[in-house]
Amino acid sequence: MVRLRSVALAALPIFLCDAFEYYTFDGPGFPSCHNISKVYNATSVDDIVSIVKSAIKADSQVRASGKGHMWYDTQCSDDSTVLIRTEDVNGIYNFSLPKGATEGSVVVDGGVSFFQLAEYLHERGASVGYTLTNWNISFGGSVAMGAHRSSLREHSMVAAGALALDIIDGQGNIRHIERDNSNDEWLAASTSLGLLGIIARIRLQIYPDTKLYAKQDTLDESAVLNGDIYGLIAPYATANFWWWPYKRKFHHRYYDVVPADSTPQQGFQNTFSLTSIEGIAARTLLDSGKYLATSNMLAEEIFFGLWSKPNFHEKTNNTEIAEWPVYGWNYDVLIGGLYPDQLPEWDYDLHGLTLELAFPVTMANQMLKRVRKLFDAELAKGIVMTSTYRSGINIKFGKPYYDFLGQVTYNTSDGADWSKGAIMFDFPSYRPTIGDHKRFNEPFYPKLAKTLIDEFPCRPHWTKNSREVLKMSAKNLDPSHIRRFKAVRQQFDPNGIYRSVVGEILGLY
C-alpha cells in the first residue's frame, strides 16, 4: 500500500495524511478503494463488532474485505473508510449431515474461503454442491456480491446455498435472518452488496460428496450462434461456453455426477496457475498485442490449443491428465486450485480487465449474434478482435433465483422473460503492462458495453464492472426492487456507514 500525498498534506489532520489506496488481488495499480484510513485484521465476530462500534464513534465509513477478488474501484465510497479484513475470521461450526441424509448444513464465518470449506467437507464426505465460485474467495464476499457458478439446472448463486445469515448492522448489532422469500429483509440480505452490514456468519446447505465427470467439446461458432443454447446447457449439473472469436469456435464444458465407486481417478482442475516459462511467454506476446493484432491472433491460437486439452492433473501425484472425460471429487473437478509447483497468472504480472452482463437466456442467440456483429464491424475496418484471455470469453448461465439485486432474479418491471434463467457474457481482456496500459483497440470495449446495455434488458455483475458500466446499467434494474432494498438498507444502516460506490450509483443513499 502506498501513502498518497503524505508530504503535500502533512499540515492537514491525521486522517487525511493517512489516506491510502487498497488494492484488489491484482496488487499495486489496481485500487479497490481510494481513501482508506486503517485496515484491521479482525480475529473473531466479536472483534468485528467492536471495530465497527469504534468506527461509528469516529464517524468513519466501514467496509469488509474478504480476499480482494474483485476488479474495480467500487468496494468503498470515496470517503474515508476503515476496512475490516475477514481472512482470520474463519471458523467452521455445527456440521450436520446424518448418515443417509440427502442434505444437511454447516455454519461458516464470513471469512471462510471456498477451498478451506471444501477440504473440511470432503474429509467428512460432504460438499456444497454447485453454489460455488473460485477457490481463494470468501463466502462473505461471494454472498454479499451475488457471485455464482454456471448452471441452468441447479442453483449456482452462492447465496442460493445460504439458509441463514448473521449480519453486523450499522449500529454494530448482530441480526440473524433466516431464508424466507416473504420477508423483504431476506430478499435484500440475499444479495446485499455489503450495504446492510458485514456478513459475519452463514448457515449453508450441504450435500453428500459426489464424484463428477468433466467433459469438453469444440463447436463451430455457427453451431452455437444458431443453435439450441438452452438445450446445450440445461441438461447438466453445471456447464458453460468459452468463446474464441478469432478462431470462430466455442468450447462447450459440462459436468455431471457419476457413481463414486465407478472411477479411481482424482482429477484436480486448474484455471489460473502457470509455470514461470508460460507466464513470461504469455506476457511478452500479449504486451506486443497492445500494438499488433497478429500477436493477439497468435495468442488466441495458442490459448485455444492449450484450452482444448483437459486443464486437470491427477491430484495424488500431480501428473497431467490427457483425455476427456476427467473424473474426480466434486470440488476438485468443479474448481480445484493451484498446482503445487505453479503460481496464479497475476503473480506473473498478467492482469485483466473485464465486463460481465447477464441477459435472459431466451435472448442468448440474439445477444451473441449482436456481439459477433460488433466484432465483424471492426473486421470491416481492418481491425481483428480476439480473446486475449487464456480461457477465451467466458459464457456462463444461471438458474432463476429470486431476490432484489441478484443477476438472475425474475418477475421484474423490464417485462423480460427471466423465468428460464440467464446467460452471462463475461469478457476478460488483457491489460498491457506497457505504455498507457490501454488495450488493443481500446474504444471497442466501452462501445460493446454501451451497445449491449442500451439494446438489451441486461444486468451487471457487481464486482466485474467499472463504475462507468455500472452507471450505464443502473437504468435496467427494477425500480421497485431498488425501493424495497433501500427501505431495508435504511433500517439496517440508517447512517449509511457501509456505503459503497455501487450503492451510490444505484441511488440507495
Which residues lie near ligand FAD (CB under 6 A)? 25, 63-70, 75, 86, 110, 133-134, 137-138, 140-142, 144-145, 147-149, 194, 198-199, 272, 463, 500
Q: Which does 75 bind (CB under 5 to 8 A by kind): ligand NAG, ligand FAD, none?
A: ligand FAD
The SS3 of residue 316 is coil
Considering only 79, 119, 228, 320, the residue that binds ligand NAG (CB under 6 A) is: 79
- In 152-269 the beta strands, taken as DSSP E runs, fall at 162-168, 174-178, 198-208, 211-220, 238-244, 249-258, 267-269
Least Å from the CB of residue 92 to ligand FAD: 15
The three cell numbers locating residue 456 = 438489451
Q: Which does 41 bind (CB under 5 to 8 A by kind): ligand NAG, ligand FAD, none?
A: ligand NAG
Considering only 344, 360, 398, 428, the residue that binds ligand NAG (CB under 6 A) is: 344
Spatial contact of 174 and 167, defined as CB atoms under 8 Å apart: yes
Geometric angle at alpha carbon 263, from 262 and 266, rounded to 5°:
145
Which of the residues 309 through 328 are near ligand NAG (CB under 6 A)?
Answer: 314, 316-317, 319
In angstroms, how far is CA 120 from the centroid of its own chain?
22
User: Total binding residues for ligand NAG by CB under 6 A?
Assistant: 26
> Half-sphere exposure of 481 toward its Cβ, with a 13 Å CA cutoff?
25
The region of 78-86, 153-161, 210-218, 233-241 touching ligand NAG under the rule CB under 6 A is: 78-86
Spatial contact of 194 and 64, defined as CB atoms under 8 Å apart: yes
Least Å from the CB of residue 290 to ligand FAD: 22
Whether cis (ω within 30° of 0) applies to the bond prior to 479 is: no
Considering only 12, 58, 93, 291, the residue that binds ligand NAG (CB under 6 A) is: 93
Pick between residue 162 and residue 225 the one whose CB is nearest to ligand FAD. Answer: 162
The SS3 of residue 320 is strand
Which of the residues 126 through 165 are near ligand NAG (CB under 6 A)?
Answer: 136
Least Å from the CB of residue 240 to ligand FAD: 9
Torsion (CA) 81, 85, 86, 88 in degrees, nearest 10: -150
Spatial contact of 242 and 395, defined as CB atoms under 8 Å apart: yes
Considering only 118, 157, 338, 363, the residue that binds ligand NAG (CB under 6 A) is: 338
Pick between residue 355 and residue 408 the one whose CB is nearest to ligand NAG. Answer: 408
Tell me how far apart the alpha carbons of residues 266 and 317 are, in angstroms, rounded to a whole number: 10
- Determine how β-strand 211-220 pairs with β-strand 326-329: antiparallel
- Determine how β-strand 31-41 pairs with β-strand 81-85: parallel
Least Å from the CB of residue 266 to ligand NAG: 7
Pick between residue 80 and residue 388 the one whose CB is nearest to ligand NAG. Answer: 80
Torsions phi, psi for 273 (to 5 deg): -95, 150
Spatial contact of 409 and 421, defined as CB atoms under 8 Å apart: no
Least Å from the CB of residue 470 to ligand FAD: 12
Pick between residue 145 and residue 452 the one whose CB is nearest to ligand FAD. Answer: 145
Residue 278 within binding range of ligand NAG, rule CB under 6 A: no
Q: Which does 118 bind (CB under 5 to 8 A by kind): ligand NAG, ligand FAD, none?
A: none
Pick between residue 400 and residue 428 the one whose CB is nearest to ligand NAG. Answer: 400
Task: Output the CA–CA distances (angstroms, integers) from residue 28 to 193, 245, 274, 351, in the order listed.
Answer: 24, 31, 21, 11
Contacts of 380 (CB under 8 A, 6+ apart): none
Residues 15-44, one symbol each (x = binds ligand NAG by CB under 6 A, - = not), give -x--x--------------xx-----x---
Least Å from the CB of residue 372 to ligand NAG: 34
Spatial contact of 47 and 26, defined as CB atoms under 8 Å apart: no
Considering only 183, 411, 419, 495, the residue that binds ligand NAG (CB under 6 A) is: 411
The SS3 of residue 315 is coil
Residue 182 within binding range of ligand NAG, rule CB under 6 A: no
Helix runs in 407-464, H state only: 444-455
* Interaction site with ligand NAG (CB under 6 A): 4, 16, 19, 34-35, 41, 67-68, 78-80, 85, 87, 93-94, 107, 136, 201, 314, 316-317, 319, 338, 344, 402, 411
